[in-house]
Structure 1
């Protein structure tokens, strides 16, 4: 039975949203390839709408945990930078409860998009809960 999609990342408000939706697990052929989660970035604004497929590995989820910790401490983050996957940057606005979310896709569409969304303190509890839910729903075993 297929699991329902889970939004690992959900940044939205003021008519803009950036979501990373996990849609399932892709079984790969061991021992050379690790299992991966399949997902898509969904960007929706009054000006730009689009989706971009991506795959996530256990290391990506661990690095997202670290990125959340840095964001929660008030630092900007770069997640998956330098990988053959879409990169995510979140820059905090010190004067406002907003952030600039940038997705860069250097490997497929060669497109970069930046969206401004609110980022309230309550968002962090929800973000950690979403990450835990992804781990619980799709356990990924590594050697």
Structure 2
């Protein structure tokens, strides 16, 4: 683990969410924990949403709390069962909504920032069964890389 611009960073960032294909992508990249004044800033991970399409490109910094990771697990379970999901809805940070199309082969991913930029973007990406195994592995890696102390 090394220090980088006030953050505690392990060997590299972890893409907690990585939905991509056909020229479109939505990524939530976790980068570490803030450590102002030599102390942890509570149990929160720093991260950034990255959206990239041929039409729109943007990024938005965020924090991810232990409850967010627990709720992401629940959201993955629901999405894997064919349901649409809302993650971090009505919270202090960007919200994520994912709806599967009727065939289940594509996902419509909406990122809504109702608190700072007042922007919403929806991106369509392929969603194959193998994605779920990878998504669960990414979540496990996030827990292992940055275990929380106040669970």
TM-score higher than 0.5: yes
Query: Which ranges of structure 2 fall in alignment gaps of 5 or more residues?
Result: 3-8
C-alpha distance in 1 between matches for 2:87 and 2:76? 10
Unaligned regions of 5+ residues in structure 1, if any?
none
Equivalent residue number for residue 58 of structure 1: 66
The aligned residue for residue 119 of structure 1 is: 127
2:150 aligned residue? 142
Structural RMSD (CA):
1.4
Please name the residue that 1:83 is paired with: 91
Structure 2 Cα separation of the partners of residues 116 and 101 of structure 1: 6
Task: After superposition, give the CA deviation of every residue in 1:54-109 in whole Å (9 maximum; x if it has no partner).
Answer: 00100000000000000000000000000010000000001250010000000110
For normalisation by structure 2, the TM-score amounts to 0.89
Aligned with 2:77 (options 69, 74, 77) = 69
Return structure 1 stretches of 4+ with deviation > 4 angstroms.
none
Aligned residue pair count: 140
Secondary structure, aligned partner of 1:11: strand
The separation in 1 between residues aligned to 2:74 and 2:131, in whole angstroms, is: 16
| 1:133 partnered with 2:141 | yes
Q: 2:50 aligns with which of 42, 45, 52?
A: 42
Equivalent of 1:95 in 103, 107, 111:
103
Contact 2:85 2:99 in 1 (8 A): yes
Q: Is the 8 A contact 2:92 2:115 kept in 1?
A: yes
Asked if structure 2 preserves the Cα contact closer than 8 Å seen for 1:28 and 1:36, the reply is: no
Q: Taking structure 1 as the reference length, what is the TM-score of the superposition?
A: 0.94
